[in-house]
Structure 1
């Protein structure tokens, strides 16, 4: 996956989103960050 042409428009949008929320830094992936992103993406329960 070296070429950005391999990314879908949706994947590129997610990368832009991650760059925006991290203020264009490149934070490493951690279990805590994965858990937080998963929680944010879960559907809300009534």
Structure 2
């Protein structure tokens, strides 16, 4: 599966949660906030390139 497959799985899970909210802005806030936090953790774990 690997990292790419795992990220795709988590993205699909997130999309299902988001779609369940429809156009309810209050409902949408939580899935978006959680996804941003999850992506921030991934971003923070990527090492800086050595130049």
TM-score by length of 2: 0.31
TM-score by length of 1: 0.34
Q: Between Structure 1 and Structure 2, whose CA radius of gyration is higher?
A: 2
Structure of greater relative contact order (alpha carbons < 8 Å, 6+ residues apart): 2
* Larger helix proportion of the pair: 2
